[in-house]
Homo-oligomer: A and B are copies of this chain.
């Protein structure tokens, strides 16, 4: 058995199957793979780790159809697709709003079934439950031109971010076994494997406990598990343990690709009877992985997985590759799936725009990225030169276009406008951010201008997560754009990512050292104390402290008082007073509260961590600005309520 050749050929076939052309090469590869398989036939399974487009039935069906035809040609026993792969996932309210999609998808499914021959094909689809105007999350088992049967998901969790439980009905327990060439399969869908590991669902038991191990050779789990959750880990652990304890094989078929802020990484897996990893599909790539568990045939492709951290650390080294791949896929799929080709962004010479530019080049190709340097009076020569050097290093399209004219005209007009308003409104600030913001907004005006004037190009919002949490970004300014690639990456992690990019990309050191070494600042205002452009950390707090506060809030849900008691890493390396810590924590909670509004109008971004300040992940009403995150003692409560009593 020439396993190496099997996988070399498979990778070639992948490339052709993913493209839109039918070539003679595929015919040739088909013959070669078939020959290898025929040396020792039976038991071959194709894990079709596909990247569907939401609701694009034609696109998805063509893809599925091609895989069916290929799998049949090379003689696979079984071909398995991810959960809901025919329509795509997540759906949110899409099918509630547009039930036509479900009706149409059944037409496509029936025709796909007709394509099947002896290869048993399993496809995730939405099964309408017409009586109750609800739907099942189902798998169709197709063979010899027909849908032989379907199995329905029995566990629809309430904890899903995608509100699956609003439109999917959990099925009652049913037989999920079927036999192909004497191999007995048991089919499960996503949370059916691990629901009890996360949150107990009222009235539901883990369906795995009902599996008859004497009647099962291979346990299959079809899934669409977002990358930013721990659920992939839960499924894998469960499958591996189940395999070991019951001496059966198990297979995870996971979706790949991104939709809006949500990413799926693929990394489909096969475990042997000892619970040992036998095969792992590529990550962040569409991929048909051919395996034969009973014959011990599989390939383990590289993985960037790492353990979830239980404590905050400023050492990000082991998670940067996955972060990078998630963002790249997020950008690629947002652009491709929405038919957008190009991006323009402001290059300030600062860390945020620099890292964004590199990521955009890797996702879209340098010819599709336009960097605009838009210096103002405050912009230092170093920043200008850093922007230019970066553009040269990346070899992207680049122009410098100062903003001073529009800023000057705007300031002049504003002088008159404000003096008119002031005559009627006595509320003018002594000191304001107006001029700072004119600069940021003029830059956004340039970028949206380019977007309006040039075909298929959107501006990039370069805000990072630390700044987003603090609302330290200008509305209609740097916050504005068609996509925000790094809005879920904190500043300290971004510094680490910049170093990682310099080291790990094919073209080394594209990011100038000065960008990584200087302390970040928006260069919108002069710090009166130093006479130099304001440094962000001086206006906020040290990023190392801020990023740990964000981590503690997101992962440990710590309150003000708990953070005050917790020892921050920053405190182990710097001496700070309790007053300083209180000031920073007060600022942190206050600014975070006020940032909810800005988070609500942030463009779509890529979710990296399980939580984030944007509207997709942080579902806290904006109107919650009076929440007191501090503890209050009973004497104060008593005192407050005393005044309520009518005397």
**In the bound complex, do residue A163 and residue B619 qualify as a contact, i.e. CB atoms below 8 Å apart?**
yes
Binds B, one of A54-62, A264-272, A304-312, A348-356: A54-62
Which of B22, B456, B557, B604 interacts with A99 by CB under 8 Å? B557
Least CB separation from A53: chain B residue:
B626
Chain B residues with CB under 8 A of A372:
417
Interface: A397 (CB within 8 A): yes
Chain multiplicity (copies): 2
| A625 to B339 alpha-carbon distance, docked (Å) | 8
**In the bound complex, do residue B628 and residue A56 qualify as a contact, i.e. CB atoms below 8 Å apart?**
yes
Interface: A574 (CB within 8 A): no
Closest-CB distance, A632 to chain B (whole angstroms) = 6
Interface: A601 (CB within 8 A): yes
**In the bound complex, do residue B557 and residue A418 qualify as a contact, i.e. CB atoms below 8 Å apart?**
no
**In the bound complex, do residue B624 and residue A54 qualify as a contact, i.e. CB atoms below 8 Å apart?**
yes
**In the bound complex, do residue A338 and residue B203 qualify as a contact, i.e. CB atoms below 8 Å apart?**
no
**In the bound complex, do residue B557 and residue A98 qualify as a contact, i.e. CB atoms below 8 Å apart?**
yes
Chain B residues with CB under 8 A of A603:
600-601
Interface: A539 (CB within 8 A): no
Q: Report if A370-B425 is in contact (Cβ < 8 Å); known contacts: A57-B628, A557-B99, A646-B27.
A: yes
Q: Give the interface size class of chain A.
A: 35 or more
Least CB separation from A162: chain B residue:
B619
Query: Which residues 82-127 of A have a CB within 8 angstroms of B?
Result: 90-94, 96-101, 103-104, 107-108, 111-112, 115
Chain B residues with CB under 8 A of A96:
557
Interface: A453 (CB within 8 A): yes
Binds B, one of A135-143, A237-245, A357-365, A407-415: A407-415
Q: Report if A476-B480 is in contact (Cβ < 8 Å); known contacts: A437-B448, A455-B429.
A: yes
**In the bound complex, do residue B427 and residue A452 qualify as a contact, i.e. CB atoms below 8 Å apart?**
no
**In the bound complex, do residue A623 and residue B202 qualify as a contact, i.e. CB atoms below 8 Å apart?**
no
**In the bound complex, do residue B98 and residue A559 qualify as a contact, i.e. CB atoms below 8 Å apart?**
yes
**In the bound complex, do residue B260 and residue A623 qualify as a contact, i.e. CB atoms below 8 Å apart?**
yes
Binds B, one of A68-76, A178-186, A319-327, A502-510: A68-76
Interface: A159 (CB within 8 A): yes
Closest-CB distance, A258 to chain B (whole angstroms) = 8
| A454 to B437 alpha-carbon distance, docked (Å) | 14
**In the bound complex, do residue A619 and residue B337 qualify as a contact, i.e. CB atoms below 8 Å apart?**
no
Binds B, one of A165-173, A273-281, A382-390: A165-173
Interface: A526 (CB within 8 A): no
**In the bound complex, do residue B637 and residue A55 qualify as a contact, i.e. CB atoms below 8 Å apart?**
no
Which of B163, B437, B449 interacts with A434 by CB under 8 Å? B449
| A454 to B624 alpha-carbon distance, docked (Å) | 23
| A68 to B93 alpha-carbon distance, docked (Å) | 43
Q: Report if A449-B417 is in contact (Cβ < 8 Å); known contacts: A56-B626, A637-B107.
A: yes
Interface: A444 (CB within 8 A): yes
Interface: A313 (CB within 8 A): no
Chain B residues with CB under 8 A of A107:
632, 634, 637
Interface: A148 (CB within 8 A): no
Which of B338, B417, B445, B623 interacts with A450 by CB under 8 Å? B417
**In the bound complex, do residue A644 and residue B68 qualify as a contact, i.e. CB atoms below 8 Å apart?**
yes
| A53 to B626 alpha-carbon distance, docked (Å) | 7
Interface: A300 (CB within 8 A): no
Interface: A334 (CB within 8 A): yes
Closest-CB distance, A375 to chain B (whole angstroms) = 14
Give 19 pairs: A residue, B residue, CB < 8 Å, sorted on A. Answer: A30-B646, A57-B628, A59-B626, A61-B641, A91-B621, A98-B557, A104-B631, A115-B644, A158-B165, A163-B619, A202-B203, A342-B427, A406-B406, A414-B446, A421-B454, A441-B445, A476-B480, A601-B601, A601-B602
Given A92-B619, A337-B625, 16 more A-B residue pairs with CB atoms under 8 Å apart are A27-B646, A65-B641, A69-B644, A94-B624, A98-B559, A100-B559, A103-B631, A134-B199, A338-B625, A397-B421, A399-B417, A406-B413, A410-B445, A429-B454, A475-B480, A601-B602
